[in-house]
Homo-oligomer: A and B are copies of this chain.
């Protein structure tokens, strides 16, 4: 039986495969799992509650509890009860967490090695194509 796959679909698959592999290697080089690096990345834009993290990471709250606990044990994030509603825990990245997060970015060579091959014009083209594909609706 022959599997008929659209050539572009296959290319996108390969692209995502390479991207994911590169990100996993970058996280591993710094001693993190991809899930841990991803959570840390989400905190670089500012603190989040546990529930917000669960929504952003598309996973269950109980999973966030464990991920945060492991990162907290390594001093990369801190959990602080929200004064306004003491059920809520605000998670923030520590200075050490920032250093590790930056190290992941430096080790993540996909953007520079792959996207860096494109000219400015090509990058703008790609940006417009991705925007159209991802647009809501």
Chain B: CB-nearest residue to A93: B1
Q: Which residues of B contact A111 (CB under 8 A)?
A: 6, 9, 12
A32 to chain B, nearest CB (A): 17
Tell whether, in the assembled complex, residue A14 and residue B126 are in contact, meaning their CB atoms are under 8 Å apart.
no
Q: Is there a chain B Cβ closer than 8 Å to A132's Cβ? A: yes
Q: Which residues of B contact A15 (CB under 8 A)?
A: 130, 133-134
Q: Which residues of B contact A125 (CB under 8 A)?
A: 125, 129
Q: Which residues of B contact A7 (CB under 8 A)?
A: 127
Tell whether, in the assembled complex, residue B134 and residue A129 are in contact, meaning their CB atoms are under 8 Å apart.
no
Q: Which of A18-26, A62-70, A72-80, A81-89 contacts its partner?
A: A18-26
Tell whether, in the assembled complex, residue B58 and residue A21 are in contact, meaning their CB atoms are under 8 Å apart.
yes
Chain B: CB-nearest residue to A114: B133
* A residues whose Cβ falls under 8 Å from a Cβ of B: 1, 3, 6-9, 11-12, 14-16, 18-21, 44-45, 58, 98, 111, 114-115, 117-118, 122-123, 125-127, 129-135
Given contacts A12-B130, A14-B130, A122-B132, 7 further A-B contacts (CB under 8 A): A6-B111, A8-B115, A9-B115, A11-B127, A11-B131, A14-B134, A117-B133
